[in-house]
Amino acid sequence: MAQQAPSASKTVLISGSSTVYPFSVAAIEAYKGKAPRGVTFKATAVGTSAGFREFCSGKLSIAAASRPINSAELKRCAAAGVRFIELPVAFDAITVVVNPSNSFAKQISTTQLRRLWNKQAQRKIQRWSQVNPAWPNTPIKLCGPGQDSGTYDTFNKAINGNTSNSRQDYTASEDDNVLVACVAKNPGALGYFGYDYYQANRNRLRALAVQGSTGTVLPSVESVQASRYLPLSRPLFFYVNDQALKSNPAIRSMVTNTLDRGVQIAEKAGVIPLKDSTYRLVTNKLYRNVLGSAFAGQLPIGLTVGQVLERSFDEHKKPQFR
C-alpha cells in the first residue's frame, strides 16, 4: 500500500504524550524564527495512545510518545502505509508523589505499589495502613494517568505485570496538571506521573524513593542516567512520518534542530536529557533514514539507558517494521 503523509498544512502538529508535551513545547520554542515563512509548529497533549491513533491513520506528522509503539499500532501503521523514523529524544522517571503534609511515607517498594495499584485492589485497598502496617489507618486518595497514557501502560507493565492490570477507582486524567492538583490539594493523596511535572511542582509535591532491583532510589537526572531508578525509568520518543519528513523540509529542519539542542531543550522542559554524544547518534539515525521500531512492538521494562539506546541504534536492523 502506498505510504500516506498528513495533508499539507501550514501548521505542523506534534501530538501525543502529556509527559513529552513540555519537551515538544520547548523544542518548538527553540525553533522559533527558523521555520520557513507561513509554517508554524504546535504541540498538544492527548496521551500516547491517542497520538498513535492519529499518527497511524496518516493524520499526524510527529507523534510524541512516552513508550515505544506497540504491535497493534505497528499493524495499523503498516496497513495504512505509514512508515516512520523512531527517535529517542530524552528519558523520564515515572515519579510517585504524595502531598507535602504527608509525614510518614518517605519510600515505597514495588511490592507495595503493586498491592495498591493492581486490579484486585479495587474497592479493597483504600487506607494507608493496608499498604504498609506502619502507616496510619487513614483513607488514601489515588491520582493517576488515564488509559490513553503511555505512563499508564509503562507503570502497569513495570509494577503489575501487564499494561491492563490496574484498578480503575481513582482520579484519572491524561492531563498531568490535573494529577498534580489532585495530589497537591489532598493531604491523603498519592499519585504517579512524569518527572517533568514533578520538577515543575516541587513546592506542591513530595517524591517517594522507590525500592526496586537496584535499592531504594529517588528519581533524579543522575539516578536515571546511571540506570539506578529501575523499573520506573523509560525513554521518550518522537515518531516522524517518513513521507512528511521528505515532503516538508521544515519538519526535517525542526527535528534536526531539536536533536542538535537536545540537552538544553530537555533541561528546559524538566525531562532527563540524553548525552550530547547520544543526540548525535540519534541525528545519524535520522540522516540514515532508519525506518521502523527498534522494539518490535514490545514495551521494554527494566532496561538500562545503555540497553535501550543500543537496541534503538542497532545498525544491523533492516530498515523495515519488525
| CATH at 258 | 3.40.190.10
d(CA 103, CA 105): 6
Is 59 within the bounds of a domain? yes
Shared domain check, 79 and 192: no
Query: 107 lies in which domain range?
Result: 95-218
pLDDT at 9: 55
Give the pLDDT score at 301: 82
Average pLDDT over residues 282-287: 93
- Identify the pLDDT of residue 6: 60
Same domain flag for 43 and 77: yes
Q: Higher confidence at residue 37 or residue 193?
A: 193
Residue 70 shares a structural domain with residue 134: no
Among 192, 218, 244, identify where a domain stops: 218
Strands (E), the chain: 11-16, 40-45, 62-65, 84-93, 95-98, 107-109, 141-145, 171-173, 189-193, 206-207, 209-212, 215-217, 233-241
In a domain, 267, yes or no: yes
Judgement on whether residues 239 and 214 belong to the same structural domain of the protein: no
Q: Are residues 39 and 113 in the same domain?
A: no
Structural domain contains residue 138: yes
Task: Specify the number of domains making up the chain.
Answer: 2
User: Is residue 162 one of the residues assigned to a domain?
Assistant: yes
Task: Kindly state whether residue 229 falls inside one of the protein's structural domains.
Answer: no
Grid-cell match 496497513, residue found? 79
Domain boundary among 218, 245, 271: 218
pLDDT digits (tens, 9 = 90+) for 238-249: 999 999 999 999
Categorize the per-residue pLDDT at 302 as very low, low, confident or very high, splitting at 50, 70 and 90.
confident
* Whole-Å CA distances, 29 to 210, 235, 264, 279: 34, 22, 12, 18
204 inside domain: yes
Cβ-based burial of 177 (10 A; exposed 0-12, middle 13-18, buried ≥19): middle
Percentage, residues of the chain above pLDDT 90: 82
Tell me the average pLDDT across 31-53: 93
Q: Is residue 78 domain-resident? A: yes
Q: Are residues 71 and 118 in the same domain?
A: no
Domain boundary residue, one of 167, 184, 218: 218
Mean pLDDT computed over every residue of the chain? 92
At 113 the pLDDT is 98
Q: How confident is the model at residue 320 (pLDDT cuts 50, 70, 90)?
A: very low
Together in a domain, 182 and 276: no
pLDDT tens-digit readout, 97-150: 999 999 999 999 999 999 999 999 999 999 999 999 999 999 999 999 999 999
Contact 47, 202 (CB under 8 A): no
Across the range 17-45, mean pLDDT stands at 94
Q: Is residue 168 part of a domain?
A: yes
